[in-house]
């Protein structure tokens, strides 16, 4: 009996010592690719920090950030919670058929921010209509996965759909011309049994993007290539996306598909004014480097991308977008000779300046994931008022 107790004590002490030794000796990492943030490294101590408690705070963060096998522990935590019957772990719904869906609740949205974003976007679109005509301006709000594929949600799970609907209605109301705001959700909903969003990532698949393209083409009275016209190849089948990284909960890996059409031949892609130049929409190397296979579409997020195609349509497009457009834009290769893509989160240039500069532009499209658009705090680059404010400030500065 005594020997069992001694064994027990030894096991306990050994666990403490081994963990202590590991966390002490293993090399430190300064950045986590998966968490997408810098990690705290061992702080240097000094008397002042020690007295104020600042050193201690940093030290604890350092211990947590440098914990060995961090992702594995997170995965174990998710497995425990799933075993206990949890349908939501770390803000992610554990859905059906291996789907992981980000959870949105009313408290994730700030009404003032939504109002502000609607003001900026509607004024931008209204101005664009004045310049290019209603037929050449469109706005596509991509539904969140949970709203496009509600069947995959766990039973009774709530999504942000009510907020999205009311925001979309407000946006439609503030637009002077009807028909600019495109409803992609209905189209996607009718295909929700298909593989239109990644299971482990928040993005839509290339197939999902195609359905949205087809809906847009129908609405703008264009002839879109049929689904069968594309040559589809699966480039990766080992993709675990960002939603997965929040929970590390076991789901089947995603596959990433490319849709090839001859109209993509001879394309020129210029990222961030010569930062990277390519003759293809697809950046295999960028996708293999990290975990994020979605980067195959026009590499990682960047401020601006300039695309030249072989199309002879006499039309050029400004596309204000977030990452959902990256796998969508190849479908536009047959419709525009030139496409300027701008991501307001990274762009320092005001989009209105770009419009004035690029006189070739004939069409404007805005594409955002609806929920992210409502939460976005970086729309300043679209804002005409902010632009006036800036110049005003500059003037008063020089006058002083």
Determine which helix (DSSP H) or strand (DSSP E) holds 102, and give its type and residue range. Answer: strand 100-102
Residues 350, 216: Cα–Cα separation, whole Å: 26
Binding status of residue 7 toward another protein by CB under 8 A: yes
Residue 211: left if φ>0, alpha if ψ -120 to 50, beta else—which one? alpha
Stretch that binds another protein, among 119-127, 156-164, 226-234, 273-281 (CB under 8 A): 156-164
Answer for which of 74, 100, 139, 167 binds another protein (CB under 8 A) is 74
Binding status of residue 5 toward another protein by CB under 8 A: yes
Q: Cβ closer to another protein: 36 or 313?
A: 36
Instruction: Single out the residue of 195, 196, 197, 169 nearest to residue 183, CA to CA.
Output: 169
Q: Cβ closer to another protein: 35 or 127?
A: 35
Q: E strands, 118-249, where?
A: 137-142, 181-183, 231-239
Q: Cβ closer to another protein: 161 or 214?
A: 161
Tokens for 321, please give them.
């977008």
Q: Tell me the number of residues near another protein by CB under 8 A.
A: 65
Binding status of residue 50 toward another protein by CB under 8 A: yes
Q: What is the DSSP letter of 328?
A: T
The mark string for 77-116 relative to another protein (x by CB under 8 A, - otherwise) is xx-xx--xxxxx-x---------------xx---------
Q: Cβ closer to another protein: 6 or 394?
A: 6
Answer for which of 28, 30, 56, 233 binds another protein (CB under 8 A) is 56
Residues 213, 223: Cα–Cα separation, whole Å: 11
Laid out side by side, the sheet with 268-271 consists of 181-183, 137-142, 363-369, 316-321, 338-342, 304-308, 268-271, 276-278
Q: What is the DSSP letter of 133?
A: -
Binding status of residue 226 toward another protein by CB under 8 A: no
Binding status of residue 8 toward another protein by CB under 8 A: yes
Give me the least distance between CB of 383 and another protein, in Å please: 19
As a whole number of Å, the end-to-end CA separation of the chain is 87
Instruction: Single out the residue of 358, 233, 373, 376 nearest to residue 307, CA to CA.
Output: 358
Give me the least distance between CB of 369 and another protein, in Å please: 10
Positions that interact with another protein (CB under 8 A): 1-2, 4-9, 11-13, 15-17, 19-20, 23-24, 34-37, 50-53, 56, 59-61, 63-65, 67, 70, 73-74, 76-78, 80-81, 84-88, 90, 106-107, 154-158, 242, 245-246, 292, 300-301, 323, 345, 372, 375
């Amino acid at each position: 009996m005594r020997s069992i107790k001694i064994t027990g004590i030894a096991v306990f002490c050994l666990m403490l010592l081994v963990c202590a030794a590991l966390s002490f000796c293993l090399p430190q990492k300064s950045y986590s690719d998966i968490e997408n943030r810098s990690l705290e490294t061992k702080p240097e101590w000094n008397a002042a920090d020690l007295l104020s408690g600042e050193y201690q705070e940093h030290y604890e963060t350092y211990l947590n950030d440098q914990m060995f096998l961090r992702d594995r522990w997170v995965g174990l935590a998710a497995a425990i919670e799933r075993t206990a019957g949890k349908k939501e772990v770390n803000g992610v719904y554990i859905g059906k058929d291996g789907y992981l869906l980000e959870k949105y609740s009313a408290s994730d949205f700030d009404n003032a921010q939504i109002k502000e974003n609607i003001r900026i976007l509607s004024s931008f679109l209204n101005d664009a209509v004045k310049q290019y005509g209603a037929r050449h301006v469109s706005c596509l709000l991509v539904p969140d996965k949970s709203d496009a594929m509600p069947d995959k949600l766990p039973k009774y799970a709530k999504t942000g759909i009510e907020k999205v609907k009311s925001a979309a209605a407000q946006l439609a109301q503030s637009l002077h011309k009807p028909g600019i705001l495109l409803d992609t959700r209905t189209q996607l909903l009718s295909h929700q049994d298909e593989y239109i969003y990644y299971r482990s990532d928040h993005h839509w698949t290339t197939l999902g993007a195609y359905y949205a393209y087809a809906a847009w083409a129908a609405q703008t009275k264009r002839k879109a290539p049929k689904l069968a016209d594309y040559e589809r190849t699966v480039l990766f089948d080992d993709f675990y996306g960002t939603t997965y990284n929040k929970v590390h909960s076991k789901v089947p890996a995603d596959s990433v598909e490319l849709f090839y059409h001859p109209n993509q031949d001879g394309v020129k892609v210029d990222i961030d004014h010569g930062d990277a130049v390519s003759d293809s929409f697809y950046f295999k190397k960028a996708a293999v480097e990290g975990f994020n296979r979605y980067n195959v579409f026009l590499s990682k997020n960047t401020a601006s991308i300039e695309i030249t195609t072989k199309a002879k349509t006499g039309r050029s497009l400004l596309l204000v977008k977030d990452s959902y457009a990256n796998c969508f834009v190849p479908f536009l290769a047959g419709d525009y000779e030139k496409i300027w893509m701008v991501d307001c989160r990274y762009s320092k240039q005001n989009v209105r300046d770009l419009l004035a500069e690029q006189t070739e532009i004939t069409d404007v499209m805005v594409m955002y994931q609806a929920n992210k658009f409502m939460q976005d705090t970086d729309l300043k680059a679209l804002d005409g008022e902010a632009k006036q404010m800036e110049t005003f400030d500059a003037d008063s500065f020089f006058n002083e």
